[in-house]
Structure 1
Amino acid sequence: MLINKTHLTLTIIATLTSLHLHAAGFQLNSQSATGLGRAFSGDAVIADNASVMAKNPAAMTLFTTPALSLGLIAINSDINIQNTSITTPTPAGIMSFPVENASIGDVSYVPNIYYIHPVNENIALGASLYSNFGTLTKFPNNYGGNLPGTLKNSADIYGGTTEVKSINLGLSAAYRFNTQFSIGAGIDVIYGHGKFTRGRDLSPLPSTLTGTTNLVDIDADGFAVGFNLGTVYEINQNHRFGLSYRYSPTLEADGDITYIPNASQGKPFNLNNEKLKIPLPDIIEFSGFHQLTNKFALHYSIQWIGWDSFTRLETTGNTTIKEYQWQNGWHYAVGGTYSLNEKWVLRAGYMYDTSAQDQLTSISVPDSDRNWFSSGFSYHLNPRANIDFGITYLTGKDVNVTELSTGAPQLNATTHADAWLYGLQYSLTF
């Protein structure tokens, strides 16, 4: 059986970035509870707390006193794999065998922390810890166990477990030229770690595979450095625009990375002596904010994600693991903020984001166009401190998936992914 190397590609990419199902591809929108409550509309320019530096470093000049934000996003994903079958040649001809439905969602927790320090009226510095990408899916241990004979557990070649965690450390600076124009820049240091298994407990295995029960078994980590740039243009205190660009690096990961291209021949292959090169997408975002009345503000964002940079997974030794074509993605978000009184601020938003996957699809990392429906509030404990809460329901579309590896049965399925996201945050100005 030939392991589907697409899964290896997907896992390693996520391993070097962060946690999934909240946006298309591996992008993770979980930078703040306030942003979550408005579907991240206007996030590159609103600057209602220090988390704005995750989207646009130039917006730090909008603060006149030091600001701190601490938050946590909980993501409860509901991913269903249905109408699944394994198709394979038999003496009686090509036959399809049904595979039981699977629910592979789980709960992830993503913390974040931001600090902005205005040096004077023109200069501000900031530090942040948060995440931009990632994934977490788990198939049942007995997935495909209902299949007959030698096909038993064949479905797990395409399923298995994908678990990823990562950290993005950012250091930023901003400069105000005048009352209308500011610029900013930042450095991103990314660390990621992930574990990945496929084809567990397949038997009988050739004698050359003694000591392993997985056709794919990966434990890898790595560092990379990127940067981000931003600008803010203020028409006046009630109307402003933000534009930002994030350069995402090509990550190089090493560790225990072993897979078996052909279990029937019993020839394990590993990349332990080479590093994997994984390009990640650049991101451009434009945001607007308009305080239309004393109580109500309108805000919006358009974001472009350069997923087409991910064309293949290859090693530093020029070994091509998988040709893999993704398409560029877009986010379109709009929302509103309403100041109910001195204590309460209400917000809501909607986002539509497009799938990064194109012709190649997967049951282990489902992806589709998605709709976000968000709401939230801030409660002011005093003039300098407040608690923020945000909630989002994210719903995807049914996707018909076909996966095929040479020498392995073909898998057909329908995937559907939804999620609830909950955010809580404490913000303070000094």
Structure 2
Amino acid sequence: MLKKENEAGKNFNWKVLIIITLATMTGGLYRNGIMTLFPFIQAEYGLGKAQLGLYSTFIYISSVSVSIFSGWIADKWGTKKSMIAGLSCMGVFIFLHSYSINFVMMLLLASATGLGLSIILPTGTKGVAEWISKENRSTAVGIITLGLSLGGVIAASILPWTASAAGWKAAVILLSFTYFVVSLIFFIFYKNKKSADSEGKDGEKKDKNKKPAISVQLKILFKDKYLLALCFLGIMFGVASGITATHFTLYLYSDFGFSEVAAGFGFMVFQLGSMAGRPGWGILNDRFLGGNDKTGFNLLAVLIILTAAVLSFLSKLDPHISILLFIAFVLGSVGRGWNGLYFSAVSKQLGDENTGIGVGLSLLFVRFGIIIGPPIFGLIADKTGSYSLSWLIMAVYTVIALFTSNILLSKSEKSAVKY
């Protein structure tokens, strides 16, 4: 079934994209939606902004520690088995959040949930690399990462209301059950590309499951200077992503006096911007920039700098809510909309067979940025009493990181390894 649809080669396999996007959307329900419950969790446990920022840090501590291994697993197990394992793991540990007796227990469960989360993106990107041609890959990866933001929008629409009516633990239980349902759907409807290809080949059996040892593959990848330059760039995007997702709801809640539900609505608009940005930047790159990833990276970074600079002064001006919502949309489109462009660049550099471990390696750097950004950003806000200085420092950091990344990419571009 899937094989026939992919015979055209360069055409989009929409059925595959929809199934993978459903899985990534489910991952996004937690990754991008749990933040909408932060005001409720903060009130129950009496937490500061820096303490709440640790939740995102703990999610990604485990993700970072196993990201390369998760990518290798995606290459070895294949898309189907890996995705089901990741979603099921997340469902179990999200459900256990409802038994948390203190914030420390929540942090441990966040770390455990991150183990499942670490598998989702390398697996989804590998599925795209197997089924979609390079000419359309930025757009396709943008679409599947769109699922992460779509999950955040759905969560922002439902979780705060559920928490207001029945408590945040009830909202977490509702969230957990979606993971088991989607795991079942993925099991029924998705087929690995290798399995589909082998069905009609006169009994031919290709032994592609035997992957080199992970240490051997890593030695090869670490010799690729262009890939390492992309990984350094990933730190910058990780910092922007972690800060905006973790603190934007609290920014509206504390600096502008929004209610918990209103701040959740603002976060939903932020996620809508992310939804528009993920495929949007991929389409811009594939259709209008001639596949020049570096130009796209520069445009993204400049917009992150400008938006962060505006936010640093905004709380002093008492802007109309429509202005805040517009900026929320823009912030989401650049602070969280870079994924499709970035991970497709990694995939194109490495080829189909190494996409999983390559994306896992790049995620190691992205998630390092996600880990260090939110607690520092929140600590500055706690010390100063608002987020103004935090946003300004973020803008300055992005300027420095953009300048450095351009130097590294330019120096390594001509010597980039081709797999």
TM range (shorter): under 0.3
TM-score where L is the length of structure 1? 0.23
Bigger helix fraction:
2
Whichever of the two has the greater Rg, that structure is: 1
Q: Which has the higher contact order (CA 8 A, sep 6+)?
A: 2
TM-score where L is the length of structure 2? 0.23
Bigger strand fraction:
1
